[in-house]
Chains A and B, each alone.
Chain A
């Protein structure tokens, strides 16, 4: 079969083709008049607040921003933002967003989804959006439970979890959303926490700036059906031992900080088996500590790091931007093909109506009368 070199479109920022706002905007302008209807204490409130206060900073026209969601608690999100939005059907938001982003270069497209929506019923659309690298940002709110249907286990729930549908304990091995996204060759893959406003905002900014599919897993507490699922990484006593912070260009260390070196007492290093393992920082020469390289074209190390996430109760998890690489986006390439064909044809053969007449009359024709 023949293949064609498509060339490389000029790689730009995620929002470069979106018109800029006339002047400064406020979070209030991005807040719709709809009453927010999540349960008290839900982590979704924190994310909503962060997004509402972060969006004005993008400096984009509000009417050129579209939020698309599927079904689940988090998927109510678009109703609370005064942008264009669609609350669609279960699992399908990435496909709808793909249509929007491909049809319109001038829109900033966001998907809000959850662990059930994105990883269970919509798993196929998620991996294919990542594969195509459509220019959009996917926020996956992971609370490791089905909330809207009142407490069944989700594809990220730990094995053995007792829920309404698993009274003797869940049998399903959970997905690690970051591993999955990296396996699908996501060009921007990150993880953050609902309650860490500063980190959340920084990740969102990087995600918006990235051209291609930005995948952001947000650990989000469900106080009703899975409370305290993320306590270890939120509690001030335990979090420095639970969070493995990923900062591009820096050695990956965590645990008790050494005041002089700034390094944690635990670190990551390459393991004999080709993966990544946790070591005692003091036991290793500094130059053997793994330095985080989010821009590495090869996702293997990022994947190895993602495997350090606990699959059972979450006592340890890498947090930050795992991968951030540039590759052509599906929507840019698709528009380039259409625009190229249209420009060439219009110059050579005239407007659409003339060319349609030519098309209809092409091939073997004959006249009667």
Chain B
């Protein structure tokens, strides 16, 4: 019997055969293969099976920017990592317990991430001289298994001819060898589904829908899937099955959802709750395009999608639609935001509601199109000419993209302003179980269109002296609501409210062009004050400081929520105190943030950039924010971050901190459960 997987195996019971069933509290599996091997689909199906089963889970797809990078090479490797557990988890996991490697390149590219004792399931079929050369293996590592110099000696390696068995299993469908071999990902999925006791119905139904029109392909995929399962069940290659019980999540109905899908649904929900038609002007760009694809399917909600000729036209059309009374939205990634900057400034000046969705990726320039990063914060904050404040909202997990979109729309519509929503590649493509909200519980958003004149002209006032009513008889587009400082939104078609707006400076109130120095000073300050006033509508910031004794606060924003939370759990498990808070609103900051920061001796700011939030906190609050910064195109690793937090806790409290097995030290290189 191979050694057990790392992690606490609390129970070992035989199943109905002679197999042992081991209970685990969580497992991290990474499927890796060539770009064309269908690893994203395999991972996605395993995820759906696990979510239906009721595990909590977090996923991390990782793929090259090339649609089909040269076959068999290291740059062509595509992978999908899924972490599933019987309790609530926060990250896709630092290091996989199980690696499924479909070719030598997939093995080579991923083996370095594995902890000692991890299991590797290798498809031996592609371990040919040619493919080994491409992956840079001088010697076939599978030939050295069990040798003294076995490079895979730290792992349990299972060699299986997945492709060969797949081709054999699907013979009856008469497919070409190439087409038959393509079903090997379903064979692997079937095997892993057996090993972890996943329900098979979701995948069967999925395949039946996907290949409805090609009975042979459907048959081959279903057969391969079943053959993979049966291979596990009937051969002695794998002697242990594993069981990960459903997680005890809060009550409700769940579905698995990616960030881009949740964000799309959030935009539709914002339209429904505001009664405004949603108008998306967008230009395709990785990793944001899926939002355009998704919204284009939902015209039945009155959603219009325009695939524009460029990034600028996308936002231009959205601004036009907002002027005409729609909820204008534009979706893009960092390079697109750069192109849209001038138009965002126009929306700031004309004070029109607008959502600018930036699904961040590695930069600068074209950078790393398919990898994640958080380095657009300062671009969102300051990337425009003039004093052009824009509210910034950031979701913290894939499912949270839904409510972040609704919140961004609330701010945009209430305050008549463009709002930046900063998602990122990890949130966009990663997924998690999502507690489906009730539509009636979502905030109602009142567009409150102007319908009548709001200002009494000198003529009307003069007439009032002679018995006239002195009622407003003209429309001033920049006469503000005293509470929100928002200007009225009068849409074309409203008689008597005809007005002109534009990029030139406006006179306060009447909105006519004004070059008056004092007026410009007033308007610049008023636009700033309007954005600052949004803080009054925000709830108090939640700080997770269970013991109340922490001297170190860890503060983050966006998708680092998971790794930061997991790192704090580790530090607490090791017996130390640390507080955590996470910002949804980056401009304006919550009103109580300054006080909260003052309450701690040390403030650590983990970010996937070189310290952009740190800079903002330092500038705003004169706090000695300490950065923890990685820009590797991947989520932060919780164990490494925990060590950094531990070190800071040591400095703050004047003690020696040793996280032991809760830090980077083996054996437990795993996400920790929360302390109940």
Measured between alpha carbons, how far is A62 from B494 in the docked complex, in Å? 10
Whether, in the assembled complex, A235 has its beta carbon less than 8 Å from a beta carbon of chain B, the answer is no
Contact A368 B321 (CB under 8 A): no
Is B440 interfacial (CB-CB < 8 Å)?
A: yes
Is residue A53 contacting chain B, with contact meaning CB distance below 8 A? no
Q: 1/0 per position for A94-129, CB-CB distance to B under 8 A?
A: 011111111110110000000000000000110010
- Residue from B298, B314, B343, B498 in contact with A82 in the complex, judged by beta carbons closer than 8 Å: B498
Docked CA distance A68–B512 (Å): 16
Q: Which residues 317-369 of A sit at the B interface, judged by CB distance below 8 A?
A: 334-335, 337-338, 340-342, 344-346, 352-353, 355-357, 359-369
Q: Are A102 and B308 in contact (CB under 8 A)?
A: no
Total number of B residues with any Cβ neighbor in A under 8 Å:
74
A364-B301 in contact (CB<8A): no
Q: Give the Cβ gap from A76 to chain B, nearest Cβ, in Å.
A: 9
Q: Are A341 and B253 in contact (CB under 8 A)?
A: no
Out of B252, B281, B309, which one reaches A369, CB within 8 Å?
A: B252
Please report the C-alpha to C-alpha distance between residue A357 and residue B255 in the assembled complex, in whole angstroms: 13
How distant is the Cα of A99 from the Cα of B342 in the complex, in angstroms? 17
In the assembled complex, which residues on chain B have CB atoms less than 8 Å from the CB atom of A357?
438-439
Contact of B300 among A88, A128, A334, A344 (CB under 8 A): A344
Report A51-67 CB contacts with B as 1/0, cut-off 8 Å.
00000000001111110
Q: Which of B302-342 contact A (CB under 8 A)?
A: 302-304, 306, 308-310, 312-314, 316-326, 328, 342
Contacts of B328 in A (CB 8 A): 99
Decide yes or no whether A241 CB sits under 8 A from chain B.
no
Q: Report the count of interface residues on A (CB-CB < 8 A).
A: 65
- Which residues of B (221-261) have their CB < 8 Å from a CB of A? 246, 248-256
| B495 CB within 8 Å of chain A | yes
**B312–A95 touching, CB < 8 Å:** yes
- Does A86 have its Cβ within 8 Å of any Cβ on chain B? yes
Residue interface bits A1-36, CB-to-B below 8 A is 1, else 0:
000000000000000000100000000000010100
- Name the B residues within 8 Å of A89 (CB-CB): 342-343, 345-346, 503
Q: A100 vs B256: C-alpha distance in the bound complex, in angstroms?
A: 37
Q: Is A85 in the interface zone, CB < 8 Å from B?
A: yes
- Assess whether B350 is interfacial by the CB under 8 Å rule: yes
> Which residues of chain A have C-beta atoms less than 8 A from B482's C-beta?
none
B272 touches A368 (CB 8 A): no
* Residue ID in chain B nearest A61 by CB atoms: B495
- Chain A residues near B300: list those with CB within 8 A: 341-342, 344-346, 355
Chain B positions within 8 Å of A34 at CB level: 512-513
Complexed CA–CA distance, A68 and B277 (Å)? 21
How far is it, in angstroms, between the C-alpha of A84 and the C-alpha of B477 when the chains are bound? Answer: 11
Complex Cα gap A340–B299 (Å): 9
Q: Would you call B324 and A104 a contact (CB within 8 A)?
A: yes
Chain B residues, Cβ within 8 Å of A355: 300-301
CB distance from A347 to the nearest CB of B (A): 10
Chain A residues with CB below 8 A from B500, complex form: 32, 78-79, 81, 84-87
User: Which of A62, A337, A365, A369 contacts B251 (CB under 8 A)?
Assistant: A369
Specify which chain B residues have a CB less than 8 angstroms from the CB of A367 in the assembled complex.
252-254
Within 8 A of A (CB), among B259-284: 265, 268-269, 272, 277, 279, 281
Q: Which residue of A lies closest to B494 (CB)?
A: A63
Closest CB of chain B to A53's CB: distance in Å?
Answer: 18
Q: How far is the CB of B193 from chain A (nearest CB, A)?
A: 14
A-contacting 9-mer, from B8-16, B47-55, B579-587, B625-633? B47-55
Query: Are A125 and B313 in contact (CB-based, < 8 A)?
Result: yes
Point out which of B272, B306, B310, B497 has the most chain A C-beta atoms below 10 A from its C-beta. Answer: B306
Contact check, A99 vs B279: say whether CB atoms are below 8 A apart: yes
Task: Tell me the nearest residue of chain A to B301, going by C-beta.
Answer: A352
Given A96-B317, A368-B251, check contact A334 B304 (CB 8 Å): yes
Q: Contact between A87 and B503 (Cβ–Cβ < 8 Å)?
A: yes
Instruction: Say whether B499 faces chain A, with CB atoms less than 8 Å apart.
Output: yes
Chain B residues with CB under 8 Å of A63's CB are: 492-498
Residues of A within 8 A of B350 (CB): 86
| A170 located at the interface, meaning its Cβ lies under 8 Å from any Cβ of chain B in the complex | no
Q: Which residues of A contact B652 (CB under 8 A)?
A: none
Assuming A357-B439, A367-B252, is B299 touching A95 (CB within 8 A)? no
Note all chain A residues with C-beta closer than 8 A to B197: none
- Distance in Å: Cβ of A369 to nearest Cβ of chain B: 3
B504 close to A87 (CB less than 8 A): yes
Contact with A along B3-42 (1 / 0, CB 8 A): 0000000000000000000000000000000000000000
Chain A residue nearest in CB terms to B205: A364
A195 within 8 A of B: no
* B164 in contact (CB, < 8 A): no
* A191 is an interface residue with CB less than 8 A from chain B: no
CB-based closest 8 A-B pairs:
A99-B320, A87-B502, A95-B316, A369-B251, A345-B300, A99-B317, A341-B299, A95-B313
Q: Which residues of A contact B (CB under 8 A)?
A: 19, 32, 34, 61-66, 68-69, 71, 78-79, 81-89, 92, 95-104, 106-107, 124-125, 128, 334-335, 337-338, 340-342, 344-346, 352-353, 355-357, 359-369
Given A81-B500, A103-B321, A128-B313, 18 more A-B residue pairs with CB atoms under 8 Å apart are A61-B493, A62-B495, A88-B319, A88-B503, A92-B313, A95-B281, A95-B317, A99-B323, A107-B324, A342-B302, A359-B265, A361-B436, A364-B51, A364-B256, A365-B253, A366-B54, A367-B253, A369-B252
* 17 pairs, A vs B, C-beta closer than 8 Å: A63-B492, A64-B493, A86-B320, A87-B501, A88-B316, A95-B320, A99-B317, A100-B321, A125-B312, A335-B304, A338-B304, A342-B299, A342-B301, A356-B269, A356-B439, A364-B51, A368-B248
